[in-house]
Structure 1
Amino acid sequence: MYSQTAKLTTTKSKKNRSKWQYYKYYYLLIAPGLLYFALFHYVPMAGLVIAFKDFKLSQGILGSEWAGLKWFNLLFAAPDFWVALRNTILISFYKLIFGFPAPVILALLLNEVINPLFKRVVQTVIYFPHFISWVVLGGLMFTILSPDSGIFAIFGSKSSPLMEPDQFRSLLIWSEIWKEVGWGTVIYLAAITGINPELYEASKIDGASRFKQVLYITLPSISGTIILLMILKTGHLLNAGFDQVFILYHPLVYNVADILDTYVYRVGLTLGRFSIAAAAGLFKSVVGLLMLLFTNWLARRITGQGLW
């Protein structure tokens, strides 16, 4: 019995070694990515404990006194927090409603383009904004929308839409779509190229139009990709885009533009209140996890597909 167990153990170890030898270069390729997530996403989780402590830099995390739910009570009692939460949900919801279908529609349209040169040119043009930082784009938007020297100066406007609270959110949504819609088509175009072309040939024989081919072949074939990205997008519902908002907002639009990330930066970090910043960050993470679980459950109930 002992000898059989030893043989099985030896056989398993040989198989593991052979797998390692075969896939060692693949492991080396993913090692930097795993190291990045370990150092910048998992190790910092230990610092969340300061959300339950009266944290002081001089005493460190372990030396600071335990405060329990003190910072959560202060956070939830602050009117500015609820304004930031409302703005975060609204901005993220609008981006989800208007921004998520945009790359799907654009990918379907690009897939119908016959001329390969024209298609490559269009792809290059729509991909380009993704690689421009919000610092540059924010400066361009302030210049273009300036009532003194921008487009609106031609029409005699005396105020910029960036200064108007009732127009600021719309600018956030459409500028985000313009910047990221091209890059978002990459995954969908890759999924479309994986569709069996024989399905389209058979549909042509049956007399299906291009619209019906998209409706009954293309969309069902990439539905798994759409659902997967939808679930992941919903999990980031409380991430309304710190870079974009931080560059574009100002005190005149705080009431409609201040989100949780900018609230944490302004109240928690600039004032040195690290514990309340950690409490807000932990609140965001918990809500994001619950939204991810709910969306995955809903997707599995409706379509039978999900992350797990």
Structure 2
Amino acid sequence: MPGEISIRHLEKVYDDGFRALSDINLEIQRGEIFALLGPNGAGKTTLISIVCGLVNASGGEVMVAGHDIIRDYRGARESIGLVPQELSTDAFESVWGAVSFSRGLFGKSPDPAHIEKVLRELSLWDKRNNRLMSLSGGMKRRVMIAKALSHEPRVLFLDEPTAGVDVELRRDMWAMVRGLRESGVTIILTTHYIEEAEEMADRIGVIRNGEIILVEDKAQLMAKLGSKELRLHLQHPLDAIPDALNGEPVSLEADGYDLIYTFDAQREQAGVARLLRLLGEKGIEFRDLQTRESSLEEIFVGLVNRPSAGVDAATTASPSGVNER
């Protein structure tokens, strides 16, 4: 089933021969929050720029809300709201004027009630008559978001939307994004704040060196690639890991007091039970135990540092069945 955004075999090669994107295949469904993660230079902004019509692709096809971005540019562009990384505003315009003007650029008739709703949701209502040049960086970022929402798009791209802004705006953003999803808006988020993706996203895509190396439901990704850690604080220190634990994924802290067992969801019950039984047989007592799950950030770092040949093709299958290289 085609998604709200459908990307097929997308390529981008610049005039100097640099290949920014290679055979990108991706389906993003209506009303989902999709987080696109990748290191600097991976191709995130290039991909977004092509979908939004700001950069020409070298090959492939992109459909947005049923509109081909080349053959039906106007229909595709009217469906998209974009919040770019860079702040770009008319310094002498008022907040109200800038947001209203953005709506008019897309041929939408004036709708003061909608503009007011957007400004209130972004805590900009009290600043509606202020010139943009008088606003703080965080407030200017809010205006960029308001401009992107002014024409009521079906798809919203947030390219590093909270970079360098305060915690309050980040929380406002999260609340606003949840509300937009509930109304059916599709949201594509790129971020360096992995906790944003962990907090907000329904699915995660990871791009590296211009290739999509993984697309996965967030919960499934964390269950499949995440790991857990059981830390046992021992009653008496050990000089070395007991022979009985050879072959087990255990390590010993330098002071000998903490024994650490690393496991995944598949081996959780049997592995922990076996570990505790072996310790009991050896008379090794512990005073306390703690468990910790790996975060999305740790999973992401592991993925982008993994050799290309080590990426499991089954993990990178998209919901449409297309293999995401």
TM over 0.5: no
> What is the TM-score normalised by the length of structure 2?
0.22
> What is the TM-score normalised by the length of structure 1?
0.23
Report the structure number with the largest CA radius of gyration. 1
Work out which structure has the larger RCO, using CA pairs closer than 8 Å and 6 or more positions apart in sequence: 1
Greater fraction helix = 1
